[in-house]
Amino acid sequence: MSDQRIRRRVVVHGRVQGVFFRDSVRQRARSLGVHGRVRNRRDGTVEAVFEGPPDAVDALVRFSETGPRGARVSHVDVTDEEPEGLDGFELS
């Protein structure tokens, strides 16, 4: 069970740019052992891909629902995807 890996794509809506959202997600992902990436989108949302153990990915999705201090999340779209074997966590 420890080798099980899931992948989720999240799109976070609200006041989520300019509040250290991406860096906070990256730091939390690294501490949880989650791989993936996070980026700002032109429409003002933040998009992230999380890949790793189910409990850790779920914890990161929950963090994305509130974000860091200063963020005001209105809602989060979550999509399950097939894992690709990502390694590391990229901020772009």
| 71 secondary structure, DSSP code | -
Tell me whether residue 30 is one of the annotated catalytic residues.
Answer: no
CA distances to 53, 55, 63, 65 from 2, rounded to whole Å, are 7, 10, 22, 25
Domains present along the chain, CATH in parentheses: 6-84 (3.30.70.100)
Residue 78: the pLDDT is: 98
Write b or e for each residue in 7-40: b if 16 or more Cβ atoms lie within 10 A of its Cβ, otherwise e: bbebbbebebeebebbebbbebbeebebbbbbeb
Residue 1: the pLDDT is: 43
Alpha-carbon distance of 66 to 58, in angstroms, equals 13
Q: 């963090």: which residue's tokens?
A: 63
Among the listed residues 5, 7, 8, 22, the single catalytic one is 22
Alpha-carbon distance of 35 to 90, in angstroms, equals 8
Bridge partners (DSSP) of residue 7 are: 51, 81
What are the structure tokens assigned to 29, written together? 């992902």
pLDDT, tens only, 32-91: 999 999 999 999 999 999 999 999 999 999 999 999 999 999 999 999 999 999 999 999
Tell me whether residue 41 is one of the annotated catalytic residues.
Answer: no
